Amino acid sequence: MGFPGTWMTESESMVYRVVPKCACSTIGQIMYYSDHGRFFDGDIHDAQGGMHKWAFGDSQDPITKNVRDHRAYSFTCVRNPYTRILSSFFDKICGIQRNGKRYRGNLVPTLIYNYGIEVGGDDGKGEFDQIASFRRFLLFARDTIRWRRPMDPDIHWSAMSGHVSTFIVNGGRYDRIFWTEQFNDGMQGVLDNLDTPHAVNLSEIPRFNESEGHGPKRAHPVEDYFDDLSMHLVYEIYKQDFKLFKYDFENPANKMPIGEIDLDEVHAKLGD
């Protein structure tokens, strides 16, 4: 299987396992800058060179050798499951993507027809009942993850632990897993362990939120989207994420972690 979703700097100074909707655009740009002294002009996900990505055939061998020998500092970044699934809904379901089209072609029409959701019209800018539509989307997300119907789960709402685990199962080991909610502290902890061709000053790095503006703005506080049933569905989908990455399931209003991530526990639980 190898190391899907893994990026590495060309200098092989660091290895990053991408977890969608968890600051991956900013992290990718920091990696690119650390090698080249400039940012990639565009969405880093579109970069076809300047860094190693598992999706590139020529990158797979150097990534595999580096990870298996643990030559470079390896890390990933996670996010509160409540805010992550909300972000996926507004970006991927309600939003128009950077190619000017809806995400995954007929996905949104299928959701409108089968689950009765609204998405704010053709341009994603119209008024609609965000709470009702999000809760129906949650049912769909659960169906894809639990029963793989009406489609396989999408990387943007499948559990973070699933993404994180492939790196471990195939022979990798993380040196650090940090939280999007404490991004500067976490990313600085990574950079403090590196010797990169170009120094990175985090205070001068912009946030590359490539999904911003794709869809409608969230009209309510996070907790308003989650009633008892919604919380039950979220726990069914993301139970392991809450436990391993120390987020507060009981209170959707609290996006901050409530404990420290235990790397040994993560490797033990996800290494099967």
Least confident of 102-116, 170-184, 199-213: 199-213
Flag whether pLDDT at 269 surpasses 80: yes
Query: Residue 96 — pLDDT band, cuts 50, 70, 90?
Result: confident
Query: Residue 81 — pLDDT band, cuts 50, 70, 90?
Result: very high
Query: Residue 210 — pLDDT band, cuts 50, 70, 90?
Result: low
120-131 pLDDT, tens digit each: 887 777 889 999
Tell me the pTM.
0.95
Q: How would you class 199 by CB atoms within 10 Å of its CB: exposed for 0-12, middle for 13-18, buried for 19 or more?
A: exposed
Query: Residue 90 — pLDDT band, cuts 50, 70, 90?
Result: very high
Flag whether pLDDT at 182 surpasses 90: yes
With b meaning 16 or more CB within 10 Å and e meaning fewer, what string describes 94-116?
bbbeeeeebbeeebbeebeeebe
Per-residue pLDDT at 18: 98
Mean per-residue pLDDT, 92-101: 86
Pairing of strands 6-9, 73-78: unpaired
Tokens representing 271 are: 């290494």
Helices vs strands, H then E, count in the chain: 9, 5
Flag whether pLDDT at 172 surpasses 70: yes
Between 272 and 10, the higher pLDDT residue: 10
Strand ranges inside 158-257, DSSP E: 176-179
Pairing of strands 6-9, 14-17: antiparallel
17-64 pLDDT, tens digit each: 999 999 999 999 999 999 999 999 999 999 999 999 999 999 999 999
Q: What is the mean pLDDT of the chain?
A: 94
Instruction: Give the neighbor-by-neighbor strand order of the sheet with 14-17.
Output: 51-53, 6-9, 14-17, 73-78, 176-179
Sign of CA dihedral 121, 127, 133, 137: positive
Assess contact for 24 and 77: CB atoms under 8 A. Answer: yes
Flag whether pLDDT at 272 surpasses 70: yes
Query: Residue 97 — pLDDT band, cuts 50, 70, 90?
Result: confident
- For the beta carbon of residue 65, count every other beta carbon within 10 angstroms: 11
Flag whether pLDDT at 209 surpasses 90: no
